[in-house]
């Protein structure tokens, strides 16, 4: 049984981590931290843990936590983890950062998009982008994982096979993305108050969302060429879920079956990627509470474009579930351990 610590355990992603790890047969949370709820029992913060755990939120003392754990999950906003993690910490424990600090390899790109100085650029050369289906071998050998974001996970997985086989024009990619309100986190924000977002849908951070360079970085790695996309996120009045609709120009004439075989080539053995039957398209309701990514596509013969649809639960495959999947790979467990949840419906 490995020992885990969760830094930032009382945010939405931290709570999902706690829920998944409490049910994991090979790992148990030993220490949990919270700045807001320090010295509070976890069951008093989240009532769903009543009589399930007696753990109490403590202050974040990173050196002590590193000595007491085999793996540390950091579920904090950007700009914090890079100032906490050091070579010394990594010599004592493995780290999976759910924030953005170790996802983007170019320091200037990170600092431009996040408007904060990176606290430890030297660690970037050893960090691994933790998209499990694409970087499994690197994850096995790493002790520092940048756990991908929710929009990025769905976008990259949905587009990767097309880029690997060079069947789309990489200069034509448009990603229209939609997220449930939990993607904004648990902190108070006027834009996510019930009366502000219910019965409405809006685009936000147009041409400026911070997941853009992360998507471009990983798609460029896949394509072996610089990829620039148009990315527009939208806020939808639902609790959780990500749906992306991506558009790209095809480089030739293809049938649905031609392209389906390409997706099968890369994903047929991936437990958490579900390629849907022709004419059936992903919906957020069918992935809620699970680690699945559902994908399908259609070919628009009139315009010569392909339209790709992907859906995930932003708090599971887009955050905590993927973090546990990364942990499983790092420690040599069966990759699906603790993640075999059937999506919940209605939910």
Active site residues per annotation: 150
The candidate with the shortest Cα–Cα distance to 57, out of 112, 8, 3, 126, is 8
Q: Is the dihedral of CA 277, 280, 284, 288 positive or negative?
A: negative
| Residues ≥6 apart with Cβ < 8 Å to 265 | 161
C-beta separation of 63 from 89 below 8 A: yes
Q: Considering only CA atoms, which of 247, 338, 287 is closest in space to residue 4?
A: 338
Among 131, 137, 149, 287, which Cα is nearest to 211's?
A: 149
Cβ 175 vs Cβ 215: under 8 Å: yes
- 333: number of Cβ within 10 Å: 18
Residue among 4, 14, 151 nearest 76 (CA) = 14
Residues 6+ apart with CB under 8 A from 53: 18, 22, 29, 42, 43
Spatial CB neighbours of 244, under 8 Å, sequence gap ≥ 6: 151, 154, 155, 158, 175, 176, 177, 178, 308, 309, 310, 311
How many C-beta atoms surround the C-beta of residue 146 within 10 A? 26
* φ, ψ at 327 (rounded to 5°): -60, -45
C-alpha radius of gyration, the chain, whole number: 20
Question: Strand pairing partners for 5?
Answer: 31, 72
For the chain, what's the residue count?
Answer: 347
- Whole-Å CA distances, 29 to 97, 208, 254, 331: 16, 36, 49, 15
């Amino acid at each position: 049984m490995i020992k885990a610590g969760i830094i930032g355990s009382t945010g939405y992603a931290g709570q999902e981590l706690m829920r998944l790890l409490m049910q994991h047969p090979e790992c148990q949370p030993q220490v949990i931290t919270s700045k807001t709820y320090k010295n509070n029992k976890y069951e008093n913060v989240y009532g769903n843990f009543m009589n399930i755990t007696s753990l109490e939120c403590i202050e974040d003392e990173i050196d002590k936590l590193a000595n007491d754990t085999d793996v540390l999950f950091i579920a904090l906003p950007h700009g914090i983890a890079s100032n906490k993690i050091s070579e010394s910490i990594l010599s004592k424990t493995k780290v999976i950062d759910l924030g953005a600090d170790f996802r983007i390899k170019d320091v200037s790109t990170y600092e431009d998009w996040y408007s904060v100085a990176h606290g430890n650029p030297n660690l970037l050369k050893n960090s691994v982008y933790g998209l499990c289906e694409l970087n499994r071998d690197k994850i096995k050998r790493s002790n520092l994982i940048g756990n991908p974001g929710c929009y990025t996970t769905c976008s990259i997985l949905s587009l990767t096979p097309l880029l690997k086989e060079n069947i789309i024009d990489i200069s034509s990619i448009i990603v229209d993305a939609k997220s449930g309100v939990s993607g904004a986190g648990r902190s108070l924000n006027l834009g996510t108050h019930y009366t502000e977002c219910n019965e409405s849908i809006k685009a936000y951070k147009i041409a400026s969302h911070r997941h853009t360079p992360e998507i471009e970085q990983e798609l460029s790695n896949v394509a072996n060429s610089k990829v620039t996309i148009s990315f527009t996120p939208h806020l939808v009045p639902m609790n959780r879920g990500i749906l992306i609709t991506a558009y790209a120009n095809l480089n030739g004439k293809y049938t649905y079956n031609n392209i389906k075989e390409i997706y099968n080539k890369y994903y047929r053995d991936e437990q958490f990627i579900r390629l849907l039957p022709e004419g059936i398209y992903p919906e957020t309701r069918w992935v809620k509470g699970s680690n699945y990514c559902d994908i399908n596509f259609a070919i628009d013969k009139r315009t010569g474009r392909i339209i790709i649809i992907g859906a995930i639960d932003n708090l599971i495959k887009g955050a905590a579930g993927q973090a546990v999947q990364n942990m499983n790979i790092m420690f040599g467990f069966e990759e699906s351990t603790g993640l075999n949840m059937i999506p919940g419906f209605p939910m």
